[in-house]
Chain A
Amino acid sequence: MRGSYLRMKLHCLDRKFFHSSPSLAPIQLPSPMETHLWYVIPSEVKSKALLNQFLDILSPCEKENVFQMRGEEPRKRALLARALVRTTIARYQINSQVSPRSLRFRKNIHGKPELEWQFSDHWLSPPLHFNISHTSSLVACGVTVNSQIGIDVEEKNRTIKHNILSFARRYFSKDEVQFLADILDPEIQRQEFVKLWTLKEAYVKALGKGFSGAPFKTFTIRYNGGGGVNPLENLNCEAQEIVVDTSDEPIELTNNWQFELLELAGSHYAAICMENNFSSEGKRTVPVKLTVWKTIPFLEEECVSGTDAVKTISGSK
Protein backbone atom coordinates (compact mmCIF):
# COMPACT_ATOMS: atom_id res chain seq x y z
CA MET A 1 0.00 0.00 0.00
CA ARG A 2 2.55 2.57 -1.04
CA GLY A 3 1.99 5.72 -3.07
CA SER A 4 3.31 4.03 -6.17
CA TYR A 5 0.05 2.11 -6.48
CA LEU A 6 -1.62 5.36 -7.51
CA ARG A 7 0.26 5.10 -10.76
CA MET A 8 -1.43 1.79 -11.52
CA LYS A 9 -3.77 1.81 -14.43
CA LEU A 10 -7.33 2.04 -13.26
CA HIS A 11 -8.97 0.65 -16.33
CA CYS A 12 -10.95 -1.90 -14.39
CA LEU A 13 -12.51 0.64 -12.10
CA ASP A 14 -15.26 3.15 -12.25
CA ARG A 15 -13.98 6.44 -13.51
CA LYS A 16 -15.23 8.22 -10.40
CA PHE A 17 -12.10 7.10 -8.59
CA PHE A 18 -10.11 9.66 -10.51
CA HIS A 19 -11.75 12.34 -8.42
CA SER A 20 -10.01 13.18 -5.20
CA SER A 21 -13.15 12.50 -3.21
CA PRO A 22 -15.36 9.81 -4.73
CA SER A 23 -19.06 10.46 -4.40
CA LEU A 24 -21.02 8.81 -1.63
CA ALA A 25 -24.70 8.08 -1.81
CA PRO A 26 -26.45 9.74 1.15
CA ILE A 27 -28.44 7.66 3.62
CA GLN A 28 -31.22 8.37 6.04
CA LEU A 29 -30.31 8.81 9.69
CA PRO A 30 -31.35 6.06 12.05
CA SER A 31 -34.41 7.00 14.10
CA PRO A 32 -34.20 6.98 17.89
CA MET A 33 -34.08 3.36 19.14
CA GLU A 34 -32.83 2.24 15.76
CA THR A 35 -29.38 0.86 15.14
CA HIS A 36 -27.56 0.73 11.86
CA LEU A 37 -24.82 -1.82 11.49
CA TRP A 38 -22.36 -1.74 8.62
CA TYR A 39 -19.76 -4.38 7.95
CA VAL A 40 -16.95 -5.08 5.51
CA ILE A 41 -15.30 -8.39 4.72
CA PRO A 42 -11.60 -7.51 4.27
CA SER A 43 -10.83 -10.45 2.01
CA GLU A 44 -13.34 -9.07 -0.51
CA VAL A 45 -11.46 -5.79 -0.81
CA LYS A 46 -8.62 -6.43 -3.20
CA SER A 47 -8.19 -3.33 -5.32
CA LYS A 48 -5.04 -1.45 -4.35
CA ALA A 49 -6.40 1.67 -5.99
CA LEU A 50 -9.45 1.47 -3.77
CA LEU A 51 -7.28 0.94 -0.70
CA ASN A 52 -5.38 4.06 -1.67
CA GLN A 53 -8.64 5.97 -1.90
CA PHE A 54 -9.32 4.85 1.66
CA LEU A 55 -5.88 5.91 2.78
CA ASP A 56 -6.49 9.29 1.23
CA ILE A 57 -9.42 10.14 3.52
CA LEU A 58 -7.64 9.28 6.78
CA SER A 59 -6.10 11.83 9.10
CA PRO A 60 -2.29 11.84 9.42
CA CYS A 61 -2.61 10.27 12.85
CA GLU A 62 -4.84 7.48 11.55
CA LYS A 63 -2.41 6.82 8.70
CA GLU A 64 0.41 6.52 11.19
CA ASN A 65 -1.59 3.99 13.20
CA VAL A 66 -2.33 1.98 10.09
CA PHE A 67 1.34 1.73 9.15
CA GLN A 68 2.31 0.80 12.68
CA MET A 69 0.43 -2.46 12.23
CA ARG A 70 2.65 -5.43 11.46
CA GLY A 71 1.79 -7.19 8.25
CA GLU A 72 -0.29 -6.38 5.22
CA GLU A 73 -3.53 -7.96 6.43
CA PRO A 74 -3.59 -6.19 9.83
CA ARG A 75 -2.75 -2.93 8.05
CA LYS A 76 -5.59 -3.46 5.60
CA ARG A 77 -8.01 -4.16 8.45
CA ALA A 78 -6.96 -1.05 10.35
CA LEU A 79 -7.36 0.97 7.15
CA LEU A 80 -10.80 -0.50 6.44
CA ALA A 81 -11.97 0.24 9.97
CA ARG A 82 -11.18 3.94 9.69
CA ALA A 83 -12.44 4.18 6.11
CA LEU A 84 -15.69 2.48 7.11
CA VAL A 85 -16.30 4.91 9.96
CA ARG A 86 -15.50 8.01 7.92
CA THR A 87 -17.43 7.09 4.80
CA THR A 88 -20.44 5.80 6.73
CA ILE A 89 -20.80 8.85 8.95
CA ALA A 90 -20.26 11.21 6.03
CA ARG A 91 -23.18 9.58 4.22
CA TYR A 92 -25.59 10.54 7.00
CA GLN A 93 -24.75 14.23 6.58
CA ILE A 94 -27.25 14.86 3.83
CA ASN A 95 -27.43 18.62 3.96
CA SER A 96 -23.89 19.72 4.56
CA GLN A 97 -20.43 20.01 3.15
CA VAL A 98 -19.09 17.18 5.22
CA SER A 99 -16.76 14.79 3.42
CA PRO A 100 -15.21 11.64 4.87
CA ARG A 101 -11.89 13.41 5.10
CA SER A 102 -13.25 16.46 6.88
CA LEU A 103 -14.66 14.56 9.85
CA ARG A 104 -12.87 15.12 13.11
CA PHE A 105 -12.66 12.62 15.89
CA ARG A 106 -11.57 12.91 19.46
CA LYS A 107 -11.52 10.70 22.52
CA ASN A 108 -13.74 11.21 25.51
CA ILE A 109 -12.26 11.50 28.98
CA HIS A 110 -11.90 7.72 29.20
CA GLY A 111 -10.47 7.24 25.73
CA LYS A 112 -13.61 6.29 23.80
CA PRO A 113 -13.49 7.66 20.25
CA GLU A 114 -16.30 10.02 19.33
CA LEU A 115 -17.18 12.56 16.70
CA GLU A 116 -16.13 16.12 17.13
CA TRP A 117 -18.81 18.32 15.65
CA GLN A 118 -17.82 21.50 13.97
CA PHE A 119 -20.38 24.19 14.59
CA SER A 120 -20.37 25.59 11.10
CA ASP A 121 -20.82 22.29 9.36
CA HIS A 122 -23.82 20.64 10.86
CA TRP A 123 -25.17 22.08 14.03
CA LEU A 124 -28.61 21.02 12.85
CA SER A 125 -27.75 17.34 12.77
CA PRO A 126 -28.63 15.23 15.78
CA PRO A 127 -25.63 13.73 17.52
CA LEU A 128 -24.48 10.54 15.82
CA HIS A 129 -22.86 7.89 17.95
CA PHE A 130 -20.76 5.10 16.59
CA ASN A 131 -18.61 2.20 17.69
CA ILE A 132 -16.27 -0.07 15.75
CA SER A 133 -15.14 -3.61 16.23
CA HIS A 134 -13.15 -5.94 14.07
CA THR A 135 -11.72 -9.41 13.84
CA SER A 136 -9.22 -10.72 11.35
CA SER A 137 -12.06 -11.39 8.91
CA LEU A 138 -14.70 -8.73 9.51
CA VAL A 139 -14.87 -5.01 10.25
CA ALA A 140 -18.09 -3.60 11.68
CA CYS A 141 -19.43 -0.18 12.61
CA GLY A 142 -22.60 0.47 14.54
CA VAL A 143 -24.39 3.83 14.36
CA THR A 144 -27.15 5.34 16.45
CA VAL A 145 -28.68 8.73 17.04
CA ASN A 146 -28.96 10.15 20.57
CA SER A 147 -27.90 6.90 22.18
CA GLN A 148 -24.60 5.50 23.39
CA ILE A 149 -23.61 2.38 21.54
CA GLY A 150 -21.04 -0.36 21.93
CA ILE A 151 -20.48 -3.28 19.57
CA ASP A 152 -18.22 -6.28 19.58
CA VAL A 153 -17.68 -8.95 16.97
CA GLU A 154 -15.84 -12.24 17.37
CA GLU A 155 -15.36 -15.17 15.05
CA LYS A 156 -17.77 -17.94 15.96
CA ASN A 157 -14.95 -20.46 16.11
CA ARG A 158 -12.70 -18.29 18.28
CA THR A 159 -10.74 -20.29 20.82
CA ILE A 160 -8.73 -19.06 23.76
CA LYS A 161 -5.39 -20.33 25.02
CA HIS A 162 -6.54 -20.71 28.59
CA ASN A 163 -9.11 -23.11 29.95
CA ILE A 164 -12.49 -21.43 29.61
CA LEU A 165 -13.54 -21.85 33.22
CA SER A 166 -10.14 -20.68 34.51
CA PHE A 167 -10.47 -17.60 32.36
CA ALA A 168 -14.05 -17.04 33.47
CA ARG A 169 -13.14 -17.46 37.14
CA ARG A 170 -10.45 -14.84 36.74
CA TYR A 171 -12.49 -12.29 34.79
CA PHE A 172 -16.22 -13.00 34.82
CA SER A 173 -18.79 -12.71 37.60
CA LYS A 174 -19.74 -15.67 39.81
CA ASP A 175 -23.11 -16.09 38.11
CA GLU A 176 -21.51 -16.11 34.70
CA VAL A 177 -18.97 -18.71 35.79
CA GLN A 178 -21.83 -20.85 37.06
CA PHE A 179 -23.72 -20.43 33.81
CA LEU A 180 -20.70 -21.64 31.84
CA ALA A 181 -19.80 -24.39 34.30
CA ASP A 182 -23.31 -25.83 33.96
CA ILE A 183 -22.77 -26.43 30.26
CA LEU A 184 -21.45 -29.95 29.83
CA ASP A 185 -20.78 -29.97 26.10
CA PRO A 186 -17.36 -28.33 25.61
CA GLU A 187 -18.25 -26.98 22.17
CA ILE A 188 -21.47 -25.36 23.40
CA GLN A 189 -19.58 -24.06 26.41
CA ARG A 190 -17.01 -22.49 24.10
CA GLN A 191 -19.74 -20.90 21.96
CA GLU A 192 -21.53 -19.50 24.98
CA PHE A 193 -18.23 -18.17 26.28
CA VAL A 194 -17.58 -16.29 23.05
CA LYS A 195 -21.13 -14.88 23.03
CA LEU A 196 -20.79 -13.78 26.64
CA TRP A 197 -17.46 -12.15 25.91
CA THR A 198 -18.93 -10.14 23.03
CA LEU A 199 -21.87 -9.02 25.17
CA LYS A 200 -19.60 -7.93 28.01
CA GLU A 201 -17.28 -6.11 25.64
CA ALA A 202 -20.19 -4.38 23.92
CA TYR A 203 -21.52 -3.21 27.29
CA VAL A 204 -18.17 -1.81 28.43
CA LYS A 205 -17.68 -0.10 25.09
CA ALA A 206 -21.17 1.39 25.24
CA LEU A 207 -20.45 2.76 28.70
CA GLY A 208 -17.33 4.32 27.22
CA LYS A 209 -15.39 4.15 30.45
CA GLY A 210 -12.76 1.69 29.31
CA PHE A 211 -11.95 -1.72 30.65
CA SER A 212 -11.21 -0.40 34.11
CA GLY A 213 -14.35 1.73 34.27
CA ALA A 214 -16.50 -1.34 34.39
CA PRO A 215 -14.36 -4.31 35.41
CA PHE A 216 -15.80 -7.48 33.97
CA LYS A 217 -16.25 -9.05 37.39
CA THR A 218 -18.53 -6.27 38.58
CA PHE A 219 -21.43 -7.00 36.27
CA THR A 220 -23.37 -10.05 35.13
CA ILE A 221 -24.94 -10.47 31.74
CA ARG A 222 -27.60 -13.07 31.59
CA TYR A 223 -30.43 -14.36 29.49
CA ASN A 224 -33.83 -13.66 30.91
CA GLY A 225 -36.23 -16.32 29.77
CA GLY A 226 -39.87 -15.83 30.69
CA GLY A 227 -41.54 -17.56 33.62
CA GLY A 228 -38.56 -18.90 35.50
CA VAL A 229 -37.53 -21.30 32.77
CA ASN A 230 -34.00 -22.60 32.99
CA PRO A 231 -32.04 -20.35 30.63
CA LEU A 232 -29.93 -23.25 29.47
CA GLU A 233 -32.93 -24.98 28.00
CA ASN A 234 -33.67 -21.93 25.94
CA LEU A 235 -30.28 -21.20 24.49
CA ASN A 236 -30.68 -19.69 21.04
CA CYS A 237 -34.27 -18.83 21.75
CA GLU A 238 -35.12 -15.50 20.23
CA ALA A 239 -37.58 -14.65 22.95
CA GLN A 240 -34.79 -14.41 25.44
CA GLU A 241 -34.03 -11.00 26.73
CA ILE A 242 -30.47 -10.12 27.60
CA VAL A 243 -30.01 -8.10 30.75
CA VAL A 244 -27.14 -6.74 32.76
CA ASP A 245 -26.97 -6.67 36.54
CA THR A 246 -24.32 -4.69 38.31
CA SER A 247 -23.36 -5.46 41.84
CA ASP A 248 -22.95 -1.86 42.92
CA GLU A 249 -25.90 -0.21 41.27
CA PRO A 250 -29.54 -0.77 42.08
CA ILE A 251 -31.36 -2.90 39.53
CA GLU A 252 -33.54 0.00 38.32
CA LEU A 253 -30.58 1.85 36.87
CA THR A 254 -29.45 -1.03 34.73
CA ASN A 255 -32.65 -0.95 32.71
CA ASN A 256 -30.96 1.65 30.56
CA TRP A 257 -28.98 -0.83 28.51
CA GLN A 258 -30.39 -3.05 25.81
CA PHE A 259 -28.65 -5.81 23.97
CA GLU A 260 -28.87 -7.59 20.67
CA LEU A 261 -26.89 -10.70 19.91
CA LEU A 262 -26.58 -11.84 16.32
CA GLU A 263 -24.90 -14.34 14.15
CA LEU A 264 -23.40 -12.21 11.41
CA ALA A 265 -22.33 -13.29 7.92
CA GLY A 266 -22.50 -16.90 9.07
CA SER A 267 -19.09 -16.54 10.65
CA HIS A 268 -19.31 -14.14 13.57
CA TYR A 269 -21.15 -13.38 16.75
CA ALA A 270 -22.01 -9.70 17.01
CA ALA A 271 -23.21 -8.05 20.18
CA ILE A 272 -24.76 -4.60 20.20
CA CYS A 273 -25.42 -2.68 23.38
CA MET A 274 -27.29 0.59 23.34
CA GLU A 275 -28.77 3.03 25.74
CA ASN A 276 -32.50 2.96 26.15
CA ASN A 277 -33.74 6.51 26.64
CA PHE A 278 -37.33 5.73 26.01
CA SER A 279 -38.45 3.11 28.46
CA SER A 280 -41.91 3.96 29.63
CA GLU A 281 -42.98 3.14 33.13
CA GLY A 282 -43.51 -0.54 33.71
CA LYS A 283 -41.81 -1.58 30.47
CA ARG A 284 -38.23 -2.61 30.69
CA THR A 285 -37.29 -2.62 27.06
CA VAL A 286 -38.32 -0.97 23.86
CA PRO A 287 -38.08 -2.91 20.61
CA VAL A 288 -34.92 -1.92 18.80
CA LYS A 289 -35.00 -1.82 15.04
CA LEU A 290 -31.77 -3.08 13.57
CA THR A 291 -30.77 -2.61 9.95
CA VAL A 292 -27.63 -4.26 8.67
CA TRP A 293 -25.67 -3.54 5.53
CA LYS A 294 -22.78 -5.39 4.02
CA THR A 295 -20.60 -2.88 2.23
CA ILE A 296 -17.41 -1.92 0.48
CA PRO A 297 -17.07 1.85 0.97
CA PHE A 298 -17.30 3.91 -2.22
CA LEU A 299 -18.14 0.79 -4.16
CA GLU A 300 -21.20 -1.12 -3.10
CA GLU A 301 -23.63 -1.96 -0.36
CA GLU A 302 -26.31 -4.51 0.26
CA CYS A 303 -28.96 -4.43 2.94
CA VAL A 304 -28.79 -7.88 4.48
CA SER A 305 -31.40 -7.56 7.22
CA GLY A 306 -33.83 -10.44 7.02
CA THR A 307 -31.36 -12.64 5.13
CA ASP A 308 -29.21 -15.48 6.35
CA ALA A 309 -26.39 -13.01 6.91
CA VAL A 310 -28.16 -11.71 10.00
CA LYS A 311 -29.61 -14.17 12.49
CA THR A 312 -30.87 -12.83 15.78
CA ILE A 313 -29.79 -15.04 18.65
CA SER A 314 -31.23 -13.12 21.54
CA GLY A 315 -32.26 -9.67 22.49
CA SER A 316 -35.23 -7.42 22.59
CA LYS A 317 -38.01 -8.04 20.13
Chain B
Amino acid sequence: MASATASSVSFTSLSSSLKKNQVSHLKKVSVSFGGKSFKPVPLRFRVACAAKPETVEKVCEIVRKQLALPADSAITGESKFASLGADSLDTVEIVMGLEEEFEISVEEESAQSITTVQEAADMIEKLKE
Protein backbone atom coordinates (compact mmCIF):
# COMPACT_ATOMS: atom_id res chain seq x y z
CA MET B 1 0.00 0.00 0.00
CA ALA B 2 1.16 3.49 -0.70
CA SER B 3 2.20 6.00 1.87
CA ALA B 4 2.46 9.76 1.77
CA THR B 5 5.95 11.00 1.12
CA ALA B 6 5.90 13.65 3.81
CA SER B 7 5.09 11.28 6.58
CA SER B 8 4.95 7.66 7.45
CA VAL B 9 1.19 7.51 7.43
CA SER B 10 -0.08 4.36 5.84
CA PHE B 11 -3.51 4.12 4.35
CA THR B 12 -4.39 0.70 5.62
CA SER B 13 -6.56 2.20 8.31
CA LEU B 14 -8.55 4.02 5.67
CA SER B 15 -9.25 0.95 3.58
CA SER B 16 -12.33 0.08 5.59
CA SER B 17 -13.88 3.38 4.69
CA LEU B 18 -13.49 2.71 0.99
CA LYS B 19 -16.40 1.05 -0.69
CA LYS B 20 -15.67 -2.33 -2.11
CA ASN B 21 -14.54 -2.23 -5.77
CA GLN B 22 -14.31 1.53 -5.85
CA VAL B 23 -11.33 2.98 -7.63
CA SER B 24 -9.13 4.40 -4.91
CA HIS B 25 -8.17 7.83 -6.07
CA LEU B 26 -7.66 9.44 -2.71
CA LYS B 27 -7.93 13.12 -3.43
CA LYS B 28 -9.61 14.92 -0.57
CA VAL B 29 -8.36 13.03 2.44
CA SER B 30 -6.74 15.10 5.11
CA VAL B 31 -4.82 13.40 7.82
CA SER B 32 -4.17 14.64 11.27
CA PHE B 33 -0.74 13.72 12.55
CA GLY B 34 0.89 15.11 15.65
CA GLY B 35 -1.52 18.01 15.88
CA LYS B 36 -0.86 19.23 12.35
CA SER B 37 -3.35 18.49 9.64
CA PHE B 38 -2.17 18.33 6.10
CA LYS B 39 -3.26 16.99 2.74
CA PRO B 40 -1.23 14.09 1.51
CA VAL B 41 0.46 14.55 -1.86
CA PRO B 42 -1.76 13.32 -4.66
CA LEU B 43 -1.27 9.64 -5.21
CA ARG B 44 -1.93 7.70 -8.34
CA PHE B 45 -1.89 3.98 -8.19
CA ARG B 46 -3.69 1.26 -10.04
CA VAL B 47 -6.05 -0.63 -7.87
CA ALA B 48 -6.01 -4.36 -8.18
CA CYS B 49 -9.77 -4.73 -7.90
CA ALA B 50 -11.76 -4.60 -11.12
CA ALA B 51 -14.24 -2.06 -12.40
CA LYS B 52 -17.90 -2.90 -11.80
CA PRO B 53 -19.02 -5.94 -13.80
CA GLU B 54 -21.88 -3.91 -15.29
CA THR B 55 -19.36 -1.43 -16.69
CA VAL B 56 -17.24 -4.17 -18.20
CA GLU B 57 -20.38 -5.72 -19.68
CA LYS B 58 -21.48 -2.45 -21.25
CA VAL B 59 -18.03 -1.92 -22.74
CA CYS B 60 -18.13 -5.44 -24.20
CA GLU B 61 -21.48 -4.64 -25.76
CA ILE B 62 -20.22 -1.42 -27.34
CA VAL B 63 -17.15 -3.20 -28.70
CA ARG B 64 -19.25 -6.07 -30.01
CA LYS B 65 -21.56 -3.65 -31.78
CA GLN B 66 -18.74 -1.55 -33.26
CA LEU B 67 -16.84 -4.54 -34.58
CA ALA B 68 -20.03 -6.35 -35.66
CA LEU B 69 -19.03 -9.46 -33.74
CA PRO B 70 -21.52 -12.32 -33.34
CA ALA B 71 -23.46 -12.35 -30.07
CA ASP B 72 -21.78 -15.53 -28.95
CA SER B 73 -18.18 -14.37 -29.52
CA ALA B 74 -16.26 -14.38 -26.28
CA ILE B 75 -15.30 -10.90 -25.16
CA THR B 76 -13.84 -10.47 -21.70
CA GLY B 77 -11.94 -7.83 -19.79
CA GLU B 78 -8.68 -9.15 -21.16
CA SER B 79 -9.82 -8.90 -24.77
CA LYS B 80 -7.61 -6.60 -26.78
CA PHE B 81 -9.39 -4.39 -29.30
CA ALA B 82 -6.70 -5.04 -31.90
CA SER B 83 -6.97 -8.80 -31.44
CA LEU B 84 -10.71 -8.58 -31.98
CA GLY B 85 -10.04 -6.93 -35.33
CA ALA B 86 -10.31 -3.25 -34.47
CA ASP B 87 -8.24 -0.86 -36.53
CA SER B 88 -7.56 2.74 -35.50
CA LEU B 89 -10.85 4.03 -36.88
CA ASP B 90 -12.77 1.33 -34.99
CA THR B 91 -10.91 2.17 -31.78
CA VAL B 92 -11.74 5.85 -32.12
CA GLU B 93 -15.40 4.94 -32.74
CA ILE B 94 -15.36 2.68 -29.68
CA VAL B 95 -14.05 5.54 -27.55
CA MET B 96 -16.72 7.82 -28.98
CA GLY B 97 -19.34 5.17 -28.20
CA LEU B 98 -18.09 4.97 -24.62
CA GLU B 99 -18.24 8.75 -24.29
CA GLU B 100 -21.86 8.72 -25.42
CA GLU B 101 -22.92 5.76 -23.30
CA PHE B 102 -21.26 6.91 -20.09
CA GLU B 103 -21.47 10.67 -20.66
CA ILE B 104 -17.77 11.23 -20.24
CA SER B 105 -15.07 12.98 -22.21
CA VAL B 106 -11.91 11.09 -23.05
CA GLU B 107 -8.74 12.95 -23.90
CA GLU B 108 -6.40 11.72 -26.60
CA GLU B 109 -3.73 10.76 -24.06
CA SER B 110 -6.15 8.47 -22.27
CA ALA B 111 -7.70 7.14 -25.47
CA GLN B 112 -4.32 6.08 -26.76
CA SER B 113 -3.58 3.99 -23.71
CA ILE B 114 -6.80 1.98 -23.87
CA THR B 115 -6.11 -1.29 -25.58
CA THR B 116 -8.38 -3.73 -23.73
CA VAL B 117 -11.95 -3.88 -22.49
CA GLN B 118 -10.71 -3.81 -18.88
CA GLU B 119 -8.62 -0.70 -19.44
CA ALA B 120 -11.62 1.03 -20.97
CA ALA B 121 -13.85 0.04 -18.04
CA ASP B 122 -11.27 1.19 -15.49
CA MET B 123 -10.90 4.52 -17.24
CA ILE B 124 -14.68 5.00 -17.31
CA GLU B 125 -15.00 4.38 -13.60
CA LYS B 126 -12.15 6.75 -12.88
CA LEU B 127 -13.77 9.48 -14.94
CA LYS B 128 -17.20 8.92 -13.45
CA GLU B 129 -16.30 9.30 -9.81
A contacts, CB < 8 Å to B: 68-71, 74, 134-136, 154, 158, 160-162, 167, 170-171, 197, 201, 210-212, 215-216
Q: A170-B96, A212-B108 are in contact. Are A69 and B89 (CB under 8 A)?
A: no
* B89 close to A68 (CB less than 8 A): no
B57 contacts the other chain (Cβ, under 8 Å)?
Answer: no
- In the complex, whether B65 has a CB less than 8 A from a CB of chain A is yes
A-B contact pairs, 12 of them (CB 8 A): A68-B80, A69-B83, A70-B85, A74-B83, A135-B87, A158-B89, A160-B93, A167-B93, A171-B92, A210-B112, A211-B112, A215-B108
A216 to B89, CA, bound (A): 12
* Structural contact, B89 and A161, CB atoms closer than 8 A: no
| A167 shortest CB reach to chain B, Å | 7
Set B85, B88, B97, B109: member contacting A212, Cβ < 8 A: B109
For chains A and B in complex, what number of residue pairs have CB atoms within 8 angstroms?
Answer: 46
CB <8 Å contact, B84 and A161: no
Q: A69-B83, A70-B83 are in contact. Are A160 and B111 (CB under 8 A)?
A: no
Contact A161 B109 (CB under 8 A): no
The residue of chain B having its C-beta at the shortest distance from the C-beta of A74 within the complex is B85
A117 to B111, CA, bound (A): 32
Q: Are A160 and B89 in contact (CB under 8 A)?
A: yes
A211/B87 contact (C-beta < 8 A), A160-B93, A161-B93, A167-B93 known = no
For A153, the closest partner residue in chain B by CB is B87
Chain A, Cβ-Cβ closest to B111: A211
- Distance (whole angstroms) from the CB of A272 to the closest CB of chain B: 16
Contacting pair B111 A212 (CB below 8 A): yes
Instruction: Mark B82-118 against chain A: 1 for CB-CB distance below 8 A, else 0.
Output: 1111011100110011010000000111011000000
**Chain B residues near A212 (CB, 8 Å)?**
107-109, 111-112
Which residues does chain B contribute within 8 Å of A68, judged by CB atoms? 80, 83
Judged by a CB distance under 8 angstroms, whether B66 is at the interface is yes
B9 to chain A: closest CB distance in Å? Answer: 34
Given A171-B92, A211-B112, output 11 extra A-B contacts at Cβ < 8 Å.
A70-B73, A70-B83, A136-B85, A160-B89, A160-B93, A161-B66, A161-B93, A162-B97, A167-B93, A170-B96, A211-B111
Closest to B99 in A: A170
4 A-B pairs closest in CB distance: A212-B108, A215-B108, A212-B109, A212-B112
A197 B65 Cβ-Cβ under 8 A: no
Which chain B residue shows the least CB distance to A110?
Answer: B112
| 8 Å CB contact of B96 from A158, A162, A201, A210 | A162
List residues of chain B with CB within 8 A of the CB of A210: 112
Point out the residues of chain A lying under 8 angstroms from B112, CB to CB: 210-212
* Contacting residues, chain B, for A135 (C-beta < 8 A): 87
Residues of A close to B111: CB separation below 8 A: 211-212
Smallest CB separation, B110 vs chain A (Å): 8
Q: Give A67's nearest chain B residue, CB to CB.
A: B83
Complex: how many Å from CA A136 to CA B73? 19
A212 to B111, CA, bound (A): 8
A201 surroundings in chain B (CB, below 8 A): 88
